[in-house]
């Protein structure tokens, strides 16, 4: 079992209560029903394609996490694979709500229609539907028929929410900007979607690492934490030359138009990175991340958030499961959170960033929602 000495938590100077995590990512399962080309899990370079056995979290373990963390009322995000494939998704949602916590759920949208009544009844706080562009562009990356199926799901979810007179779930579109879809953002949002159904939009530049970043990360893991390899993070590795022909000014102009529309219609807009100027976008896709404006030199999330993979492994880096700080099948989440390995990790992050940080969405997140609440 993990060392549970409370002094190992390494309390931050801002006085935030860190006895339990305030933000919990649960990868409910590894399965997905799509094979999106750019996906860092199941895509063309995704390491999940090599897995011989796919795992999912035991529902009893999930319930234990929720019950143990109830005093902290953490904010939950549910991931996969595709989280709506999880056979106990209803039990998870109800347990989170009964514990008084908020929950967000990203999805590829193909199972929204089937689960619309549940998602409204359980008052999920936010649904993020991943779509990449107009039908031809989206389905070119995600598979034939995915766009129409996802739109039907959004329509059903919105109709069910209206029928119940409910305010939730908030409905959002999450779009990753890639070399394939970047010319079509305006057409997508203004000609292909009914933005009157949307409460939120997220625009994110494609996350990636260079080969050198990955090599440096493996070196840090070996030297500092005794981890021999980093196969999961390899799914993020791209040659920056694949972005060289993109029109960064066109991206910035389309994002600005979408931002103006969101401000006019009262739609929440999230962007990664926060400053979507032509210069920032050029630097981002040129792997010149630390020359961008409003870039972090430290990460606060090891004191705030934790992530549990479908195999039970616990880490503090969203989607990067190579560094394991414990396993919830062997120890409680609190024991791991307050344990010596987590403390060692926090000590390193007090003075350093990891070579993968620039490929993490949390690197660009400035106001974690639980900080405002707590």
**pLDDT per residue rounded down to tens, the chain (374 residues):** 334 444 445 555 545 567 899 999 999 998 888 887 777 676 666 677 777 788 999 999 999 999 999 999 999 999 988 999 999 999 999 999 999 999 999 999 999 999 999 999 999 999 999 999 999 999 998 999 999 999 999 999 999 999 999 999 999 999 999 999 999 999 999 999 999 999 999 999 999 999 999 999 999 999 999 999 998 888 889 999 999 999 999 999 999 999 999 999 999 999 999 899 999 999 999 999 999 987 778 888 899 999 999 999 999 887 788 999 999 999 999 999 999 999 999 999 999 999 998 888 778 765 544 444 33
User: Please, which residues have CB within 8 angstroms of residue 159's CB and are 6 or more apart in sequence?
Assistant: 116
Residue 88 to residue 85: CA distance in whole angstroms:
9
Q: What is the pTM of this model?
A: 0.90
CB 175 within 8 Å of CB 202: yes
Residue 207's Cβ-count burial label (10 Å; 0-12, 13-18, 19+) is: buried
Instruction: Indicate the length of the chain as a whole number.
Output: 374
Nearest alpha-carbon partner for 260 in 207, 190, 317: 190
CB 342 within 8 Å of CB 6: no
**Lookup: tokens for 28:** 């409910």
pLDDT the model gives residue 43: 64
pLDDT the model gives residue 288: 94
Q: Rounded to whole angstroms, what are the CA distances from 153 to 116, 117, 138, 206?
A: 7, 11, 16, 25
Residue 370 to residue 374: CA distance in whole angstroms:
6
């Amino acid at each position: 079992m993990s060392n549970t000495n409370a002094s190992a938590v390494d309390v931050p100077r801002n006085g935030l209560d860190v006895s339990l995590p305030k933000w919990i990512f649960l990868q409910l399962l590894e399965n997905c029903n799509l094979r999106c080309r750019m996906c860092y899990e199941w895509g063309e370079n995704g390491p999940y394609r090599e897995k011989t056995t796919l795992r999912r979290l035991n529902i009893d373990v999930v319930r234990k996490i929720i019950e143990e963390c109830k005093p902290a009322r953490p904010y939950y995000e549910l991931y996969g694979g595709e989280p709506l494939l999880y056979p106990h998704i209803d039990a998870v949602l109800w347990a989170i709500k009964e514990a008084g916590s908020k929950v967000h759920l990203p999805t590829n949208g193909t199972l929204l229609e089937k689960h619309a009544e549940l998602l409204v009844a359980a008052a999920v706080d936010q649904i993020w539907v991943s779509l990449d562009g107009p039908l031809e562009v989206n389905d070119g990356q995600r598979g034939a028929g995915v766009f129409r199926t996802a739109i039907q799901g959004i329509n059903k979810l919105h109709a069910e929410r209206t029928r119940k007179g409910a305010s939730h779930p908030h409905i959002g579109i999450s779009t990753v900007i890639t070399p394939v879809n970047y010319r079509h953002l305006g057409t997508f949002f203004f000609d292909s979607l009914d933005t009157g159904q949307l409460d939120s939009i997220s625009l994110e530049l494609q996350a990636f690492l260079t080969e050198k970043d990955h090599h440096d990360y493996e070196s840090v893991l070996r030297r500092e934490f005794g981890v021999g390899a980093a196969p999961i993070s390899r799914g993020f590795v791209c040659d920056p030359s694949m972005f060289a022909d993109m029109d960064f000014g066109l991206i910035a102009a389309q994002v600005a138009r979408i931002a103006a529309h969101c401000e006019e219609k009262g739609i929440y807009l999230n962007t990664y990175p926060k400053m979507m100027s032509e210069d920032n976008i050029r630097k981002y896709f040129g792997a010149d991340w630390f020359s961008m404006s409003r870039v972090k030199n430290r990460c606060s999330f090891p004191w705030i958030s934790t992530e549990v993979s479908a195999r039970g492994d616990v880490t503090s880096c969203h989607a990067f499961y190579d560094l394991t700080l414990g396993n919830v099948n062997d120890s409680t989440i609190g024991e791991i959170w307050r344990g010596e390995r987590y403390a060692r990790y926090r000590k390193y992050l007090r003075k350093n960033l990891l070579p993968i940080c620039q490929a993490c969405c949390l690197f660009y997140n400035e106001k974690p929602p639980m900080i405002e609440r707590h």
